[in-house]
């Protein structure tokens, strides 16, 4: 008896087994990319939101776009820049334009964990304890100058940032969704500051380095803001429901297996650069964690969605990769002695790892 032809064998397979084969040959997930019409409808609020924020914020397109990536990908954002670059104002404007519950925490050396997450208050009247929730219970939480608080306060954020919940006494309270911590730190004023623990920094999906505006932008800032009462009001042009709906489409953005392998290779190159013919081993103290792999994938999906695409291309990885990795690749003492920064190391890795 002659063996059955391969196509005939497939024909005899049950439908569910055949669907598994076809799924494995295209994507690891069972979701299909959204249609262009559905994608446009789900992200129609993004250009409007950019325009509304632009009524207050001059320039800073890089900053605004990365804040939107964090919002879509459900990732916390750390902003580093000198004073006066509209970091705090950008976050406050974003909260107003999205109609989100917004709280600002000014971090200081004498801040206590209870000032962030809340505490139990004893009531002598009925001899019971009542929970007083802290400012962490908001959709967008601005942790202003986060590096001015000691480690015990910064550690109070870890459960909130990772688990989206807070434990006060014996009770665990869920945080509202969406929930984002948007933190700022000043790189030039080091008196009274504390370095952020690596475990906490790794919880931030993105770390942004905010730069100075151009000459034309500086002139527009002068014309618009040189007033004792500048107009900083914006309207709510989208809702939290719109953001939640767009997040569903982020999960459906297609990532080809070759691009998944490319992401993994980039992360592995930060840990074992010699495997990619990179002589950087002595300059890297710690490479990126598995959380970086997840964050890079989600951020690339959100970035592709913002570009109007339902699939990720290698350029998306390169566009958003530096913001995902710059705080996760820790230079060694040798690198610091030779003035080699984490950005220099990441740029070398991107140049060396083959693009699919």
In tens, the pLDDT along 33-85 reads 667 777 777 788 888 888 888 888 888 888 889 999 999 998 999 988 877 77
Q: Pick the last residue of a domain from 181, 216, 249.
A: 249
Domain presence at residue 259: yes
Q: Which domain holds residue 291?
A: 253-356
CATH of the domain at 304: 1.10.8.80
Domain membership flag for residue 24: no
Average pLDDT over residues 97-125: 86
pLDDT level of residue 297 (50, 70, 90 thresholds): very high
Chain position carrying tokens 């990619």: 276
pLDDT one-digit tens code per residue, 183-210: 888 776 666 567 777 777 888 999 998 8
For residue 131, is it within any domain? yes
Note whether 340 and 211 are same-domain residues. Answer: no
- Domain match, 58 and 125 both: yes
- Is residue 67 within 8 Å of 92, Cβ to Cβ? no
Residue 142 confidence (pLDDT) above 50? yes
pLDDT band for position 264 (50/70/90)?
Answer: very high
In a domain, 9, yes or no: no
Q: What is the mean pLDDT of residues 328-351?
A: 89
Boundary-marking domain end, from 196, 216, 249: 249
For residue 135, tell me if it sits in a domain. yes
The 10s digit of each residue's pLDDT in 317-333 is 999 999 999 999 988 89
Q: Are residues 196 and 88 part of one domain?
A: yes
The structural domain count of the chain equals 2
CB-CB neighbours of 103 under 10 Å:
16
Q: Buried b vs exposed e over 144-160: b needs ≥16 C-beta within 10 Å?
A: bbbbbbeeebbebbebb
pLDDT at site 227: 78
Do the domain assignments include residue 229? no
Question: Is 199 a domain residue?
Answer: yes
Mean pLDDT for the chain overall: 82
Q: Is pLDDT larger for residue 188 or for residue 260?
A: 260
**Residue 107 pLDDT exceeds 80:** yes
Q: Please confirm whether the linkage preceding 94 is cis (ω < 30° from 0).
A: no
pTM of the model: 0.82
Is residue 12, in this structure, part of any structural domain at all? no
pLDDT for the residue numbered 234: 82
Same domain, 218 and 261: no
For the stretch 203-242, pLDDT in tens is 899 999 888 888 888 888 888 887 777 777 788 888 888 8
pLDDT, position 319: 92
- Cβ atoms of 302 and 309 closer than 8 Å: no
* Co-location of 242 and 272 in the same domain: no
Within this chain, do residues 193 and 84 fall inside the same structural domain, yes or no? yes
- Choose the weakest-confidence range: 37-46, 239-248, 257-266: 37-46
Q: Looking at the predicted structure, is the pLDDT value of residue 28 above 90?
A: no
Q: What is the 3-state secondary structure (H, E, C) of the chain?
A: CCCCCHHHHHHHCCHHHHHHHHHHHHCCCCCCCCCHHHHHHHCCHHHHHHHHHCCCCCCCHHHHHHHHHHHHHCCEEEEECCCCCCHHHHHHHHHHHCCCCEEEEECCCCCCHHHHHEEEEEECCCCEEEEEECCCCCCEEEEECHHHCCHHHHHHHHHHHHHCEEEECCEEEECCCCCEEEEEECCCCCCCCCCCCHHHHCCEEEEEECCCCCHHHHHHHHHHHCCCCCCCCCCCCCCHHHHHHHHHHHHHCECCHHHHHHHHHHHHHHHCHHHHCCCCHHHEEECCCHHHHHHHHHHHHHHHHHCCCCECCHHHHHHHHHHHHCCCCEECHHHHHCCCCHHHHHHHHHHHCCCC
The verdict on 193 and 264 lying in the same domain is: no
119 and 264 co-located in one domain: no
168 pLDDT above the threshold of 60:
yes
CATH number at residue 166: 3.40.50.300
- Give dist(CA 71, CA 246) in Å, integer: 10
- CA angle, corner 287, sides to 284 and 289, nearest 5? 170
- Residue 303 shares a structural domain with residue 351: yes
The pLDDT of residue 5 is 42
Which pLDDT score is estimated for 34?
A: 65
């Amino acid at each position: 008896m002659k063996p059955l032809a391969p196509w005939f064998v497939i024909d005899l397979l049950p439908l569910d087994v055949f669907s598994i084969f076809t799924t494995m040959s295209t994507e690891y997930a069972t979701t299909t990319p959204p249609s262009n019409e559905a994608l446009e409808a789900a992200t129609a609020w993004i250009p409007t939101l950019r325009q509304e924020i632009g009524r207050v914020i001059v320039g800073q397109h890089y900053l605004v776009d990365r804040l939107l990536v964090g919002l879509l990908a459900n990732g916390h954002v750390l902003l580093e820049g000198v004073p006066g670059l509209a970091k705090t104002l950008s976050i406050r404007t974003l909260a107003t334009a999205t109609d989100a519950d917004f709280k600002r925490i000014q971090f200081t050396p004498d801040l206590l964990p209870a000032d962030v997450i809340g505490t139990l208050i004893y009531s002598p009247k009925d001899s019971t304890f009542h929970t007083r929730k802290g400012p962490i219970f908001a959709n967008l939480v601005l942790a202003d100058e986060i590096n001015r608080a000691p480690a015990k306060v910064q550690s109070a954020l870890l459960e909130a940032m990772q688990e989206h919940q807070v434990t006060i006494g014996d009770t665990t309270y869920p945080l509202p969704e969406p929930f984002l911590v948007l933190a700022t730190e000043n790189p030039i004023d080091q008196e009274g500051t504390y370095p952020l623990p690596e475990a906490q920094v790794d919880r931030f999906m993105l770390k942004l380095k905010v730069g100075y505006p151009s000459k034309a932008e500086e002139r527009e800032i002068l014309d618009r803001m040189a007033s004792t009462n500048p107009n900083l009001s914006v309207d709510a042009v989208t809702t939290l429901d719109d953001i939640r709906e767009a997040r569903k489409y982020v999960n459906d953005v297609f990532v080809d297996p070759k691009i998944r392998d490319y992401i993994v290779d980039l992360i592995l190159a930060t840990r074992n650069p010699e495997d990619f013919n990179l002589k950087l081993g002595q300059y890297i103290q710690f490479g990126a964690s598995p959380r970086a792999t997840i964050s890079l994938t989600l951020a690339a999906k959100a970035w592709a969605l913002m570009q109007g695409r339902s699939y990720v291309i290698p350029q998306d990885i390169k566009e958003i990769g530096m913001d995902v990795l710059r705080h996760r690749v820790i230079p060694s003492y040798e690198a610091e002695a030779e003035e080699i920064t984490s950005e220099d190391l990441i740029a070398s890795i991107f140049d060396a790892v083959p693009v699919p």
